[in-house]
Amino acid sequence: MLRVSVLGKRCLMPSLCIQKRLKSYIPIPTIPHIDSIKDNGIKGLYSEKGLNTVWYKKLEKNVISLEECIEESNNSDNLKSSFIDKHTNTNSSLSLDLTEINNPINKLYTLLNKTAKNVEDYAVFCFASQIYNDYFAISSVGPKRFVENSSSSSSFNINKPDENSIFESPSMDLSFQNEPIGQLETWITESFGSIVEFRTHLLNTNLAIKGNGYTWLVIQKRHQKRDSFPIYENLYIVNTYNSGTPNAKITEGQLFSVKHQIDDLKEKEKTKQDKIDQQEERERLLITNLPTLEEAKEQVHLENSFEYIPLLAINGSPSAYLPDYGVFGKKMYLNNLWDCIDWEIVSNRIPEDARKTTDTQ
Amino acid sequence: MKIQTNALNVLERTSHYLKSGLLKKQPLWYKVVAAYPPQKDLTRKVKRVNEVLKNASELEPSKKALYKTRIQPNRLKNKLYQSQKLKFLEDDLRKLFYEQHPWELADPKNLIENEKIMHKTLNWKTIRQLYVPLSGESVVQRTLYILENENLSLLNAYDKARFEYYRVKIEQESEENISKEESAMYGAVFDKSLVEFGFNKEQEIIEKWKQDAEAATQLLEARFSSRTTAAEEESGPQDKEDVFGLENIESFDDVAKS
């Protein structure tokens, strides 16, 4: 109920709030290589207008909403603290290294960590997660670097296809100009078989998303024992829907904690109603506190858990392709997106210790 | 009864009889036979020895008998009245495709779908069609289209259509999986699939059969043991046999589940 009431308010707010200048304590995540070409759009993927709607306007709305949600939250001080820490040089984040503490996106990550298991802060989690996901998706792409011989260089193939494009025969190409490089390529061929298979799998997984969602390329990190070196295993393709997050570490135990919170609330109400049979109440509580089989499984899973580190995100939501490609343009959007993925940035996101482990192999 | 020599022109003869007044009334079968005249000439003809031998060599060796020593008259096919065998390229292509991809036959298919396919208004410019779901038939029709419109050999045209089919199939399958996952994430609850439903129905019958079988075997065992005890009294104890393999029946569930 709480979620509905908070989100219901949101619908009215942004239109009023956009006019007032943003002076938020929330640092706005910046992507230097996109900001520099903001006026031309991303060549080969988004027009100037498209980029503006997909990234800048949406970001502004989300930040405003996030701020309001934090203000309304019961533990807003705690949530705010994740931004106030080390606030000194937010604008100097020139590199895309996500391990950098001062990068605004890392502050969002800490916020996600705080809110993921709390039902009351669900709205905060949603908006923070949306900003985080969008940031990831937009920062993974860059302007198209090569020009195909056949098509004219000026148009870059951004247009709105009509309904006949649904029935178009698939192209039979087996080689693509923009392909992953270096170590990432070997990782991908080890995990998926080949680049063609990877591409087909990645793009089809995204194409199938009907609502809002993202497709992620993640790397699996596993701790065998505590304090031991983490093991980096295969790459995986994962979908998240709405404002889900691929970081399993954040969401692990979510069900468990949410259920407990709901149980606690119910118990509080009950104890208010009748304090007579307290002894029986306690006994009952003892029984209900025993975890069910599923909860116990989740708990065990928590202890020797995997971590998924995102490398690449593709936004499959209609809002990502509607402005430039229209209703029938998702396929074209995805094909263009493949050409625009900046594989250097993606491979830079592989953790350093992972690079070492594969080097030794 | 002797084989009727004039069986084929029975209609002709009867009409003559009717005209001449030999028969006053039309026989009941008259109109039926007129509508569906006899297909086979049952007239026995004198055959030369060579011809008989030639026919004998054409006969396939039967699995039951080692040698064919005589030709039965019903085995001799008179092709005069048989309809001509129709040959189409589509059939060969279809056969080839399903030989190479037997599991594509596992996709459930409505037979009415083929009627639409036969419709010549469909344009196989693309393998995807609005009214026709993707199947092996799409490959066949698309191959024919490519063969006509693009300058490719039959084999290349087939390969092109086949690879297009693979791409679309991959897309469709991932779409099925993802949309299931997506709707589950939004709270959808899926009922049992048709296969599971059928399996459960089957399992019910098997359970009942198992109970019945156990009861029946107990009865038989009781009879058997009463007989053997009677025999034992005469000739000492004997090893009991597991007549119906009851020891194995416990694993029946496992077999069914696997």
pLDDT tens, position by position, for chain A (361 residues)? 334 444 444 444 444 444 444 556 777 888 888 888 888 888 888 988 889 999 999 999 998 888 888 888 888 777 877 776 554 444 433 334 444 555 677 778 888 888 887 778 888 889 989 999 999 999 999 888 776 554 444 456 778 888 888 888 888 878 788 888 888 898 899 999 999 999 999 999 999 999 999 999 998 887 766 666 778 878 999 999 988 888 777 777 677 777 777 788 888 887 777 666 666 666 666 555 566 666 666 666 655 567 788 999 999 999 999 999 999 999 999 999 999 999 988 988 888 777 765 544 4
Give the residue on A whose Cα is nearest the Cα of B159. Answer: A172
| Cβ pair A205:B178 closer than 8 A | yes
Quote the percentage of chain B above a pLDDT of 70. 67
Contact criterion met (CB below 8 Å) for B3 and B42 = yes
- Among A165-179, B72-86, B148-162, B188-202, where is mean pLDDT lowest? B72-86
Positive or negative, the CA dihedral A330, A332, A337, A338 is positive
Q: Spell out which residues of chain A touch residue B175, defining contact as CB-CB under 8 Å.
A: 204, 207-208
| Domains defined along chain A, listed by start | 2-139 (no CATH), 180-251+305-360 (3.55.40.20)
Q: Name the band, by pLDDT with cuts 50, 70 and 90, for residue B12.
A: confident
Residues 272-331 of A with CB under 8 A from B: none
Number of A to B CB contacts under 8 A, please give it: 52
Residue B244, phi then psi, degrees to nearest 5: -105, 15
B130 in contact with chain A, both atoms CB, cutoff 8 A: yes
Q: Which residues pair with A235 in a beta bridge?
A: A219
pLDDT at A337: 92
Radius of gyration of chain A (CA): 23
Give the residue on B whose Cα is nearest the Cα of A207. Answer: B175
A208 in contact with chain B, both atoms CB, cutoff 8 A: yes
Give the residue on B whose Cα is nearest the Cα of A205. Answer: B174
pLDDT at B158: 95
pLDDT at B94: 93
| Cβ pair A169:B175 closer than 8 A | no
B209 in contact with chain A, both atoms CB, cutoff 8 A: no
B240 against B11, higher pLDDT: B11
Contact criterion met (CB below 8 Å) for A316 and A209 = yes
pLDDT at B99: 95
* Dist. CA B127–CA B145, nearest whole Å: 10
Would you give the distance in Å from CA B58 to the centre of its chain?
Answer: 27
B185: nearest CB among A170, A208, A241 = A241
| Cβ pair B174:A239 closer than 8 A | no
Q: Name the band, by pLDDT with cuts 50, 70 and 90, for residue B197.
A: very high
CB count in 10 Å sphere of residue A205: 22
Residues 168-187 of B with CB under 8 A from A: 168, 170-171, 174-175, 177-179, 181-182, 185-186
A213-222 and A306-315 beta bridge pairing: antiparallel
Residue B185, SS3 per DSSP: helix
| Cβ pair B178:A201 closer than 8 A | no
| Cβ pair A170:B164 closer than 8 A | yes
Total residues found in chain B within this entry: 258
CB count in 10 Å sphere of residue A45: 27
- Among A21-35, A196-210, B187-201, B219-233, where is mean pLDDT lowest? A21-35
C-alpha dist (Å) from residue A298 to A72, A227, A241, B58: 31, 22, 21, 73
Distance from CA of A129 to the nearest CA of B (A): 17
Residue B178, SS3 per DSSP: helix
Q: Spell out which residues of chain B touch residue A200, defining contact as CB-CB under 8 Å.
A: 167, 170
* Dist. CA B117–CA B164, nearest whole Å: 18
**Which strand (E) or helix (H) includes residue B254?**
helix B252-257
| Cβ pair A168:B163 closer than 8 A | no
A239: nearest CB among B127, B128, B178 = B178
A213 in contact with chain B, both atoms CB, cutoff 8 A: yes
Enter the tokens of residue B35: 């509508």
C-alpha dist (Å) from residue A288 to A57, A259, A281, A283, A299: 47, 11, 11, 9, 16
Q: Spell out which residues of chain A touch residue B163, defining contact as CB-CB under 8 Å.
A: 172
* Dist. CA B2–CA A345, nearest whole Å: 94
B252: left (phi over 0), alpha (psi -120 to 50) or beta: alpha
B143 in contact with chain A, both atoms CB, cutoff 8 A: no
A222 against B161, higher pLDDT: B161
Residue B202 has pLDDT above 60, yes or no: yes
Positive or negative, the CA dihedral B52, B58, B61, B64 is negative
Mutant choice from B142, B182, B183, B186 vs A, greatest count of A C-beta within 10 A: B182
Q: Which residues pair with A313 in a beta bridge?
A: A216
Mean pLDDT for the stretch of residues B60-66: 60
Positive or negative, the CA dihedral A323, A324, A328, A331 is negative
* Dist. CA B13–CA A257, nearest whole Å: 96
Give the residue on A whose Cα is nearest the Cα of B130. Answer: A167
